[in-house]
Amino acid sequence: MSSIIRKTFGNRDGSVIYGNDEAGMRRVRVFKDGKLRISGDGLLERDERGVPISGDIRNSWSGFSLLQALFVKEHNSVCEMLKERYPDFDDEKLYRTARLVTSAVIAKVHTIDWTIELLKTDTLTAGMRINWYGFLGKKVKDTIGARFGPILSGLVGLKKPKDHGVPYSLTEEFVSVYRMHCLLPDTLILRDMSPEKVDKANPKIEREVLMTELIGKEGGKKGSKIGFEQLLVSMGHQSCGALTLWNYPNWMRSLVAQDIDGEDRPDLIDMAALEIYRDRERGVPRYNEFRKNLLMSPISKWEDLTDDKEAIEALREVYGDDIEKLDLNVGLHAEKKIKGFAISETAFFIFLLVASRRLEADRFFTTNFNEKTYTKEGLQWVNTTETLKDVIDRHFPSLTNQWMRCTSAFSVWSSDPDPTKWLPLYLRSAP
């Protein structure tokens, strides 16, 4: 059995912002009013080496750093709210409470916003909202609380965590199906944000920037020159890549990786090859065995996997006719997709299991999801935040008003908002 040293956690503790150890956590704090460090331009501060001051500093790019900065602003806003209502709270109390609130907001956005956009169907929308609110829905839960168990009231607010006899952790299988680098582009299309050129439907293109210019230390400098608002609006108006074969970002095939201190390593890496190697090294089952372990039907020929003749020809060239040799990551990208799904059905099975487990096995979403732990106002902050759009609107209302048409910030911002459907979600027929 392989042993792997990790510096990051699978818990939803916001460590990507706050750090994973004492030194990292101290590095990001101001030690006044519970707040975290943020630069005057709204982006992450950087040390004398040019390394970002944040919880996770390895292999960063401007888009990732931007989201870190957004939730630093969220944390600091929670601190300001708490200080106003609880003037007796010291720096440590403000920091710890704001961290709980912000981490819960991130988890909620991930559950009922990001995942719903990734699996864009009424069925999955209902399922993810049931995970958080239960069959009775948000209005009932907000009114009377989580009184009726996980089915009717959702997993959040359970009296006790449920780990099913296994201490909570993220499995290697989950790590494997979450390899989604194909979502990233090779270039970022910057939009013109001149006041006289505001057009939610079709913002004018200013120029394109290679992703190689937006990674690492130099990428941090470039991001600062572009600015938070233009970066955010530009990313919002650019669709992500498809999780399919032959769509891996070229810049990640010769990537300058960083060590745990954020310093560049001397040798380039091919991330696509490394992902295959890691699965093999760690004993993650090949595609067919993986499906069998999930009690899913295995494939018996390449045509069971995909209708794409070019893909089948390439698979035969690499693996011959031995379908049992098919690597998991290759199979996930080749697999026919369910309508509305950005990911494969095989990956979805793992998502389904872990999405529930990440809530029900965490005491901060069960036993301690209460006013005593979060404060009354902190819990209200979490309960009234539904989407990433809510978070952006809290800090940059002009951006959402001027540049975002869509319902979710994870959609392309120029897309139409979701239509109003009067038939209750649970009563709608499947497409």
pLDDT, tens digit, 9 for 90 and up, residues 291-310: 999 999 999 999 999 999 99
Take residue 406 and report the two structure tokens written for it: 């869509």
> 62-85 and 216-226 helices cross at what angle (nearest 10)?
60
Sign of CA dihedral 321, 323, 324, 326: positive
pLDDT of res. 422:
67
Banded model confidence at residue 330, pLDDT cuts 50, 70, 90: very high
Banded model confidence at residue 1, pLDDT cuts 50, 70, 90: very low
Answer with the residue of higher pLDDT: 204 or 11.
Answer: 204
pLDDT at 3 over 70: no
pLDDT digits (tens, 9 = 90+) for 41-60: 999 999 999 899 999 988 88
Amino acid at 142: D
Which residues are known catalytic residues?
A: 178
Amino acid at 287: Y
Longest CA–CA span in the chain (Å) reads 70
Beta carbons of 109 and 388 less than 8 angstroms apart? yes
**Among 164-178, 263-277, 302-316, where is mean pLDDT lowest?**
164-178
pLDDT of res. 145:
87
pLDDT of res. 419:
85
pLDDT at 39 over 60: yes
pLDDT of res. 427:
65
pLDDT of res. 333:
98
pLDDT at 375 over 80: yes
pLDDT digits (tens, 9 = 90+) for 23-36: 999 999 999 999 99
**Mean pLDDT, residues 9-20:** 84
CA distance 176 to 364: 26
Reference 138, options 394, 385, 366; nearest CA is 385
For the chain, list the domains and their CATH numbers: 12-118+185-239+385-415 (1.10.640.10), 168-183+241-361 (no CATH)
Banded model confidence at residue 167, pLDDT cuts 50, 70, 90: confident
CA dist 234 to 67, 76, 110, 202, 272, Å?
A: 13, 25, 21, 11, 26
pLDDT of res. 363:
93
Take residue 15 and report the two structure tokens written for it: 């460590």
Residue 181 marked ligand-binding = yes
**Mean pLDDT, residues 260-277:** 92
CA distance 212 to 209: 8
pLDDT of res. 293:
96
Strand 205-210 and strand 264-269: pairing? unpaired
Share the mean pLDDT of the chain: 92
Beta carbons of 107 and 12 less than 8 angstroms apart? yes
pLDDT of res. 13:
87
